[in-house]
Copies of this chain bind each other. A is one copy, B any other.
């Protein structure tokens, strides 16, 4: 895993494979980009805080855990310092790793986790559960430099323990990564059906702790809809629930673990609902002459018994970005580039309003063809033109690559980030228009040209998720202030419009200032009660889910080392 960007060391966005992208970006951002020289990110330039070492704690660890499970290697400390948010990567690239833990432990069993928690509680050591480290909401950095801090990297707890094929449930250790999990489930002819954009780099435990959503949540639900039972080691002991489809046993304690963001304990395993691997899968692309018609088509599908497995509708700006991102060699792009453009123009499609929709249907061949046919009737009513399976294949081949763009842009002094939310159908248009306008205004205040796009995805009968992407060239020396101003405006727009602070990226530190508005002060008090009940000494991921009196102060303070370093 890279320490300075997204994904594997060897994976990156290569401009040569996407020759249209950088010219597109320079044009929409109004920059010439000639002053760029690729920096070599140097691990040695990072100032790592001197590790705190609590000797009684360390000697207890050494007594019960093999040395191979413990490390304080500087590179590991840096990798475990942050997630992959803009702030995280920007700080690391500027030599700041104040969020780094003092130690990393790789437990291999629930017993290991119990021993570590007991030892930590005795010595007031902070523990931060770590899955794939892919979150972009600031869920992982240490908030308190004074207490010793340990990152609990769960990757070695990666087994599918049992699959009950008759009941479509699987008992799974929490540290397993997406591809490994699917490979193990595939042996039993099953799939979890959870494919978030971070799929390659995130874990089951991380998905549960953050209330993640996969691309195919339209059919399979969000992760909270898939959890049948859970085991979570807390400072007060192991919380465990039963493998039953549904219950009326008072407050559903599964839902106390789901979304707990490491603040109550360490999720060690979960029994998840799984599905038979679908016999048939169709991925298709469509162009809509305008965004509103595309939204109407999504709405009708979501409310008329032909909900796709996945649907993603890009607004015109996001559509232009998607087209610029596609490799020129793809059959689809050639097709669009040559014959198709003329046809579209004749049909009344105009470049600045056209919207791309990607759709997948999964299930039995009968069910797929029935739903696809029904959906296509709805799409055509809104003037859509099918791009066939080629567009689908093109999407499938690059669907996990998008986050690499940010690193490429950061290298070129361009800030790029995302904010996403969810709202009910009746509110989607207003929220969309106002948030786009807010983003443009706010970015424009720095006298740079804004680029703002949005896609709508994750449909439900009652609403959908809106996912905003934005970019702008950096004011050198004020990059963080610029980012915070924009991020604050977009989050405030969500809350002002009755939407939620995040649909699937978690609260972390990035969204904590809006939590009280989202779940009400009494809701926060309830969460605080659970924390008191399970982690009275506050050793589990402190500073999260419980906003302080002035949460914006903390929000801004996260970057003070950066400002201090600049003098």
Contact = CB atoms under 8 A, between A and B. Distances in A.
B425 A246 contact: no
Q: Which of A167, A234, A501 has the most CB of B within 10 A?
A: A167
B255 A424 contact: no
Contact of A533 (B241, B242, B243, B526): B526
Interface string A412-435: 000000000111111100000000
A518 B425 contact: no
B303 A246 contact: no
Nearest to A495: B242
Contact of A530 (B367, B505, B526): B526
Given A167-B425, A522-B239, A528-B533, A545 B251 contact: yes
Interface string A502-541: 1111110001000100111111011111111110000000
Contacts of A519: 241-242, 249-250, 253
A282 interface: no
A464 B246 CA distance: 8
Interface stretch (A257-265, A399-407, A469-477): A257-265
A499 interface: yes
A462 B167 contact: yes
Contacts of A113: none
A525 B235 CA distance: 12
Q: Which of A250, A260, A367 has the most CB of B within 10 A?
A: A250
A8 interface: no
Nearest to A253: B523
Interface residues of A, number: 91
A363 interface: yes
Interface string A527-567: 11111111000000000010000000000000000000000
A224 interface: yes
A115 interface: no
A238 interface: yes
A169 interface: yes
Nearest to A523: B253
A237 interface: yes
Contacts of A264: 526
Contacts of A532: 529, 532-533
How many copies of this chain does one complex carry?
2
Given A239-B523, A251-B258, A463 B422 contact: no
A530 B421 CA distance: 27
Contacts of A42: none
Contacts of A463: 167, 244-245
Contacts of A462: 167-169, 228, 245, 273
A260 B250 contact: yes
A458 interface: yes
A26 B532 CA distance: 56
B500 A244 contact: yes
B236 A367 contact: no
A364 interface: yes
A345 interface: no
B526 A248 contact: no
B244 A499 contact: yes
A463 B244 CA distance: 7
Contact of A246 (B228, B503, B534): B503
A305 interface: yes
A188 B565 CA distance: 61
A252 interface: yes
Interface stretch (A45-53, A120-128, A207-215): A207-215
A299 B258 CA distance: 28
A261 B250 contact: yes
Contacts of A276: 303
Nearest to A247: B500
Q: Which of A505, A518, A522, A545 has the most CB of B within 10 A?
A: A522
Contacts of A527: 250-251, 253, 533
B246 A213 contact: yes
Contacts of A213: 246, 248
A241 B523 contact: yes
A180 interface: no
B460 A530 contact: no
Interface string A450-491: 000000001011111100000000000000000000000000
A515 B252 CA distance: 12
A251 B303 CA distance: 28
A222 interface: yes
Interface string A4-25: 0000000000000000000000
13 contacts: A166-B424, A169-B424, A211-B250, A224-B252, A237-B521, A246-B503, A247-B518, A248-B507, A249-B501, A250-B261, A251-B258, A305-B363, A305-B367
Interface of A: 164, 166-169, 210-213, 222, 224, 228, 234, 236-253, 255-256, 258-261, 264, 273, 275-276, 299, 303-305, 363-364, 367, 421-427, 458, 460-465, 498-507, 511, 515, 518-523, 525-534, 545
Q: Which 4 A-B pairs have the closest CB atoms?
A: A529-B533, A255-B255, A167-B424, A245-B463
